[in-house]
Structure 1
Amino acid sequence: MAAAARSLRAGGRRCGALPAPFCTAAPRQPPPGMRTHLWSRYREAKRVTKELVPSIMSNMLNPDAIFSNNEMSLSDIEIYGFDYDYTLVFYSKHLHTLIFNAARDLLVNEHRYPAEIRKYDYDPNFAIRGLHYDVHRALLMKIDAFHYIQLGTVYRGLSVVPDEEVIAMYDGSHVPLEQMSDFYGKSSQGNTMKQFMDIFSLPEMTLLSCVNEYFLKNNIDYEPVHLYKDVKDSIRDVHIKGIMYRAIEADIEKYICYAEQTRAVLAKLADHGKKMFLITNSPSSFVDKGMRFIVGKDWRDLFDVVIVQADKPNFFNDKRR
């Protein structure tokens, strides 16, 4: 199977293995001089494109604008809702290091993981949003919109897994839909493939890979599902136990990026009679200090409703409300 998959990926095909109607003759070669002529035309078109398009487009488009696939008039919208984290508030690069270090220490102190994992530091260039994690195989990877694993992106710990090994493990590179998770990590077969979508998941992916790396390098047997759960719980506890909140409140200027445009946008909406609400999972005192830093002491006057500790996504579908 692996050899066949490699052959297909390389574009190879044995004519003798196919029915006669599918055996085609070798493609005809272009007339003499045609290749040179086509390359010349291509280079000329490329030159013209590079010279003309930027000068034309620079006068037509604002590079700082937001482009949407579906347009709508915001004058028709009467109510605006905002999240807090990474919507009204943007954090500095120091936050992910804080989350990584705090969760790593929780693994050692509360889950009794080896203290040697403290030698691993957060690498902001290791992972991106949207990656999938195979909980049972302890593999981090990129899967496209058609559920195909992007070969060369599969990591076991901090090392790339060879393409041949990936194809052998998954019987190809396609992952069945029933194994895929939705936004909240659920699938018909349980947490088989967890997708990390939000920005807070970056330190979680890195920590998972670092601990996997430690166990692999030291030949320590472990259960990948339990490791995934322990790391997930530690990342969660950084929030729930208030570790992250206390650190940010103690040094707001280090962790929160000040944006003077935030107040201007909110004030403009309020001046035009728009209703606004804020809904967040973060606690009240934490939100208040951050909004005071970004918007000002009167930030509550801009909102009609403020909901904290909302427990999203359960907030939107919990019938107990």
Structure 2
Amino acid sequence: MAKPMLPPDSTFPAARRVFTNRNLRLESLGAFGFDMDHTLAIYDTRQFDRLSFELALDGVLRRLDLPPEVRDVRWDPAAAVRGLVVDKKSGNLLKVDAYHHVTRARHGEKFLDKEERRDLYASGRVRLGTGRYRSFDTLFDLPEGSLYTALVARVDAVAAGRSRPDYRALSEGVRAAVDGTHADGSLKSHITADLDRFFTRDPHLVPTLQKFRDAGKKLFLLTNSEPSYTGAVMQHLVGGEPGSWVGLFDLVICSAGKPGFFVKRGDGEPIPVGQDARLPNRNGNCFLGGDSFFLEKQLGISGDGILYFGDHTYGDILRSKKSVGWRTAMIIPEVEEELQALVPLIETLRELGRVEKSLDDLVMRKDHLRTGGGDPDEIAALTALVTQGLGRRGGLQRKIKSAFNPHWESVFREGRAASRLGRQVMEFACIYTSRVSNFLNYPTDKFFARPVEILPHERGILPES
């Protein structure tokens, strides 16, 4: 029976495509590995973030001596996005570009203006490796950002300028409270009690995994979640007889402890057979902990013969790439969200491109006349056209910005430049997409070719520019 024809890349929505930073030939890979949370398991982030915010607020109130006025702070789903940085000393949330220049700073409910940013960050750049800063590299960090900025606003209001709040202690208290909801099991107990509320089932997930298996790929699950939570979530997502989901994988490793998993630590410990019906380990291929060398030994495949899918910029993508040489596929739900917002604005974006090119030409002509002693009337006419063009550009830019987060706009960009997160995606991920099941749209021997990289002097000349 003939195989069905797969649609070309341009015939399915942009939000469901796979994007390429480095050439990758699926046919050359022997094993595909997957993180679970925010990779195979798609959370309903509004439900999860609200729950995490509320539980963490309770934890903060137990840990810190805060005024009673903070008890009624409210969760704002737009308060934080991935890629932001917390300045613990000043109590600010920062958005930085690819070179760590501070482009936006929010203190409580107020955004700092340019002069205020310059006063705080004199060089314009921040040194993220110091203890002053903490970056949000995963979607799990967003409730922390929302809670911190809400608490900063409230403690500032209570202090009313009489004293300076200890923003570092507040940040560390929030971080400890968020970690506490994971460590004490309270967050996961709420989730497992109502899985339908917190997860979105993807009907194409299992067919995608099965397609990889049918192509002869070895599959493994590598998650930091403990066995009981892994079993509950995977059983919910896959369905079928209790524990049958394990049959999709050649190897399952829970409590992996990434990113430490990617340095030598020793072998994993077998999960007791039959201890949990949802992760029964009937075939002896399910383990706790270990390291990447143990995993590669179990699979008989190593290095660039492995493609690993994950969502965490550092723990999944950077460390698996740099430490053990795996190829990387980053799962970024924000790609789907932002492309869905941008597609209706295609004509607006094209018009913006035309306006910017026209402005470049006008400014060049004006500069040429000014330096060459040109006709003042002609220079004045060009100046008027530039002013008109700037107004039109501003209107188009405002329309595009309104499609994104009301505080931070696109997570991948800052103006005409890439944000820190955008640059990390380009540098660390071989390929990236919004969800694992998007690979169902592609053949299993697909060669993902990176696009032509255009240098400024080639723009407008080379075909893909």
**TM-score, scaled relative to structure 1:** 0.73
Partner residue in 2 for 1:34? none
Query: Contact 1:148 / 1:173 at 8 angstroms: preserved in 2?
Result: yes
Aligned-partner residue type, residue 261 of structure 2:
F
Provide closer, same or farther for how the CA distance between residues 60 and 282 of structure 1 changes in structure 2, counting only shifts above 3 A: closer
SS, match of residue 142 in structure 1: strand
Aligned-partner residue type, residue 157 of structure 1:
G
TM-superposed deviation, 1:174: 2.7
Higher relative contact order (CA 8 A, sep 6+): 2
Provide closer, same or farther for how the CA distance between residues 104 and 262 of structure 1 changes in structure 2, counting only shifts above 3 A: same
CA distance in 2, matches of 1:215, 1:110: 15
Aligned-partner residue type, residue 166 of structure 2:
E
Task: Map 1:108-187; keep pairs closer than 5 Å.
Answer: 108-150=61-103, 153-175=104-126, 179-180=127-128, 187=129
Q: More strand by proportion, 1 or 2?
A: 2
Aligned-partner residue type, residue 245 of structure 1:
K
Query: Contact 1:106 / 1:234 at 8 angstroms: preserved in 2?
Result: yes
Partner residue in 2 for 1:98? 51
Partner residue in 2 for 1:197? 137
Aligned-partner residue type, residue 229 of structure 2:
F
Aligned-partner residue type, residue 193 of structure 1:
Y
CA distance in 1, matches of 2:28, 2:183: 38
TM-superposed deviation, 1:154: 0.8
SS, match of residue 252 in structure 2: strand
Partner residue in 2 for 1:287? 230
TM-superposed deviation, 1:65: 2.0
Query: Contact 1:102 / 1:238 at 8 angstroms: preserved in 2?
Result: yes
TM-superposed deviation, 1:112: 4.0
Report Cα offsets for 1:221-245 as digits up to 9, x if no partner: 4322211111111111111111111
Partner residue in 1 for 2:40? 88
TM-superposed deviation, 1:318: 5.3
TM-superposed deviation, 1:173: 2.0
CA distance in 2, matches of 1:166, 1:70: 36
Partner residue in 2 for 1:247? 190
Identity, in percent, stands at 29
TM-superposed deviation, 1:197: 1.4
Aligned-partner residue type, residue 33 of structure 2:
G
Query: Contact 1:215 / 1:221 at 8 angstroms: preserved in 2?
Result: no
Task: Map 1:65-84; keep pairs closer than 5 Å.
Answer: 65-84=17-36
CA distance in 1, matches of 2:264, 2:171: 26
TM-superposed deviation, 1:208: 0.9
Partner residue in 2 for 1:311? 257
Aligned-partner residue type, residue 80 of structure 1:
F
CA distance in 1, matches of 2:265, 2:238: 34
Is the radius of gyration larger for structure 1 or structure 2? 1
TM-superposed deviation, 1:281: 1.3
Query: Contact 2:87 / 2:132 at 8 angstroms: preserved in 1?
Result: yes
Query: Contact 2:85 / 2:135 at 8 angstroms: preserved in 1?
Result: yes
Across the two proteins, how many residue pairs are aligned to each other?
251
Provide closer, same or farther for how the CA distance between residues 212 and 251 of structure 1 changes in structure 2, counting only shifts above 3 A: same
Query: Contact 1:139 / 1:156 at 8 angstroms: preserved in 2?
Result: yes
**TM-score, scaled relative to structure 2:** 0.51
Query: Contact 1:108 / 1:114 at 8 angstroms: preserved in 2?
Result: no
Segments of structure 2 that go 5 or more residues without pairing to the other structure are 1-7, 267-289, 291-465
Aligned-partner residue type, residue 109 of structure 1:
R
